[in-house]
């Protein structure tokens, strides 16, 4: 099995009170683990691609065997998106001190990002991405689609599937989005720009 669930870089309760420990535990050990398991299951059917980097597979989905293309898109995208998501968050005290201050380049994007996240229909992600020319923009992706599928580099992403917030915020997505800003680890976000 090539892909493994990465450990969280902090304990499950580290994002309290903004994101509760039970949600983090279920999100990581159940949802993310399922993406990893299903991705490995799909790739095991085609040993000729099992060792290719996941980023490469997602950038060129049409080159994949048709019988696993959807599984790699959904489960590979879910694995990659979540692995990125965990690294861009941290304990509130870290996010507000050692995690660094909000970078200057971000100010024009916060309102647009928040609006895009709140307006996304159904499940998916809100992103700040960088194109090949280095320009930043806000996008949303449905389901577990990765920005890599559009040749875009993720800089900051927010999981908007209900499993990311339902236990604490229920159907109040806007509250979840507002609370999430308190756990963004800006130092790690800077590394993606």
Domain(s) of CATH 3.55.40.20: residues in the chain = 92-190
CATH number among 3.65.10.10, 3.80.30.20, 3.55.40.20, 1.20.140.10, domain 92-190: 3.55.40.20
Q: What is the mean pLDDT of residues 149-163?
A: 97
pLDDT band at 170 (very low <50, low <70, confident <90, very high): very high
- Classify 126 in phi/psi space as left (phi over 0), alpha (psi -120 to 50) or beta: beta
Domain(s) of CATH 1.10.287.990: residues in the chain = 21-87
Q: In the predicted model, what is the mean pLDDT of the chain?
A: 94
* pLDDT for 96: 54
* pLDDT for 98: 53
Q: What is the mean pLDDT of residues 95-115?
A: 80
pLDDT band at 104 (very low <50, low <70, confident <90, very high): confident
pLDDT in tens, 20-33: 999 999 999 999 99
Assign domain 21-87 to a CATH class: mainly alpha
* pLDDT for 48: 92
């Amino acid at each position: 099995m090539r892909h493994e669930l990465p450990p969280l870089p902090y304990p499950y309760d580290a994002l309290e009170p903004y994101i509760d420990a039970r949600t983090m535990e279920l999100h990581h050990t159940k949802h993310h683990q399922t993406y990893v398991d299903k991705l490995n299951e799909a790739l095991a059917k085609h040993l000729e691609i099992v060792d290719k980097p996941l980023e490469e597979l997602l950038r060129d989905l049409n080159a994949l065997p048709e019988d696993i293309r959807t599984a790699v898109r959904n489960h590979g995208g879910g694995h990659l998106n979540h692995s990125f998501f965990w690294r861009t968050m941290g304990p509130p005290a870290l996010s507000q001190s050692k995690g660094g201050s909000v970078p200057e380049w971000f100010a024009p994007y916060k309102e647009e990002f928040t609006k895009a996240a709140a307006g996304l229909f159904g499940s998916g992600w809100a992103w700040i991405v960088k194109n090949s020319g280095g320009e930043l923009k806000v996008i949303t992706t449905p389901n577990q689609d990765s920005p890599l599928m559009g040749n875009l580099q993720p800089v900051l992403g927010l999981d908007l599937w209900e499993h990311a917030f339902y236990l604490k915020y229920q159907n109040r997505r806007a509250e979840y989005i507002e609370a999430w800003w308190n756990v963004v680890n800006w130092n790690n976000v800077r590394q993606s720009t």
